[in-house]
Structure 1
Amino acid sequence: MSDDRRGKNLDLVQAYTDALNKWDIDTMRDLSTEDVVFELPFRPPTFERETVGRDAYMEVLAQARDHMIDGSENLHDMQMDTLASDPDVVIATYKSDMKLRSGVQYTNEYISRFVCRDGKIARFVEYYDSIILFRALGGTLQEAEESELLPEGLRS
C-alpha cells in the first residue's frame, strides 16, 4: 500500500513541477488542495512567508508569471524521493535557469518539501538562496567582508 502511495505521490509532484515549469496554472490548481499552503521560509523582503488557500496561491503564481518571469523557469536536474517514514512527504531538489522580465538571467538551486493529501498537493515549501533572487530583482547588499561588524581576522 505505501509503495503504491509513494509512487502516486512522486508522479503527482512530477506533474506539479512540470506544470510549474510551463506556468500551467490551471493544472496546478487542479493538483492543489483547496487549503494548499505555499511557503517560502527564506524569502527576500516584500515576499510573504506563507500563502494559504488555492485561490490566493494561484494569484501569487499568476503575478510571478505575468510580472516577474519571462517564459519557463527551466527547472532541471530534478531528483525526488519520499520520506521513508511518510510516503505523503516528497523531497525534491532541482535547479532553475530562467530569464526575468527585466532581462536579467536568474539561476538558483532549490530543495522543496511537498506534502500530498488525497492525490493533491497540500503544502509546498521551497528553500532557495534568496540573496541570489534579491540581487536578480535589483536589490543590493553590503558585502559581509566590508562590514565593520565582522572581526578583522574573518575579513578578506
Structure 2
Amino acid sequence: MSHEQQRSAVEVFQRFLEASVNNDWDAVADSYAEDVVVEIPFAPPGVPVATRGREVLRARFHGAAGIRRFTGSSDVVITRSDDPEVIFAEYQLLGAAVATGKAFASRYVMRLTVRDGLIVHSRDYSNPIATAVALDRVPELLAALTNNQGSQGGQGDQG
C-alpha cells in the first residue's frame, strides 16, 4: 500500500470522528465494510465483545442515539503503524446523557484496519467505568461484575 493509501486510512478515521461528533449514525456505519469485525475487549454490560457486520453496527448506533449525544472531540492523536493498513487513534468524545443532560467526556483508543476506504477491522478500547458514571449506569456495571457476567456472555454477532 502506498503512502497515499495509508493517508486515506487517516482520512477514513477523520470522517468517522466527524460523523460521530455530528451524531450522524448512518455516516458512522458507512465508514465500515459490510463484513467488518469490531472487537470491544472491555465492553460494558449489554454490548458484545465481538460484532460482525456493518448493519448490526448501524442498528446499535441508532439505538445508542437515545442514550447519549456527542457535542465535540478533543485530544485526537493518530499513529501510523508498520502495517500500512493499520492506524491507531486516541481521542476523547464530549457529550451529554440524553435522559439527564449530564455532560461527559469519554476517552477511546482504536486500532483500525482500513482497506479500500472502509474500516474492515477495529479493536476499540474505552473506560467502561467512566461511561457507567456518565450515563448513571454504575449499578448495572456493578451487578454485571458481581455476577461475573459482564459482557463476556454477549460475544458473537449481536447488536
Q: 2:112 aligned with 1:114, yes or no?
A: yes
**TM-score normalized by structure 2?**
0.78
- AA aligned to 1:91 is F
Q: Is this contact kept in 2: 1:10–1:81, CA < 8 A?
A: no
Equivalence for 1:32: 32
Count how many residue pairs are aligned between Structure 1 and Structure 2. 139
Superposition deviation, residue 91 in structure 1: 0.3
Supply the distance in 2 between the matched residues of 1:6 and 1:133 (Cα, whole angstroms).
32
For structure 2, the residue ranges without an aligned partner over 5 or more in a row are 143-159
RMSD over aligned Cα atoms: 1.9
Q: Runs of 4+ in structure 1 displaced over 3 angstroms?
A: none
Q: Is this contact kept in 2: 1:115–1:122, CA < 8 A?
A: yes
Supply the distance in 2 between the matched residues of 1:108 and 1:31 (Cα, whole angstroms).
21
Superposition deviation, residue 73 in structure 1: 4.7
- AA aligned to 1:30 is D
For structure 1, the residue ranges without an aligned partner over 5 or more in a row are 142-156
The superposition leaves residues 50-92 of structure 1 with CA deviations (integer Å, 9 ceiling, x where unpaired) of 2210110100111111x211x3252222111220x21111101
* 1:99 corresponds to which of 96, 109, 126: 96
The structure-2 alpha-carbon separation of the partners of 1:43 and 1:73, relative to structure 1 and needing over 3 Å to count, comes to farther
SS of equivalent residue, structure 1 residue 28? helix
Q: 2:82 aligned with 1:90, yes or no?
A: no
Q: What percentage of aligned pairs have identical amino acids?
A: 27
Equivalence for 1:20: 20
**TM-score normalized by structure 1?**
0.80
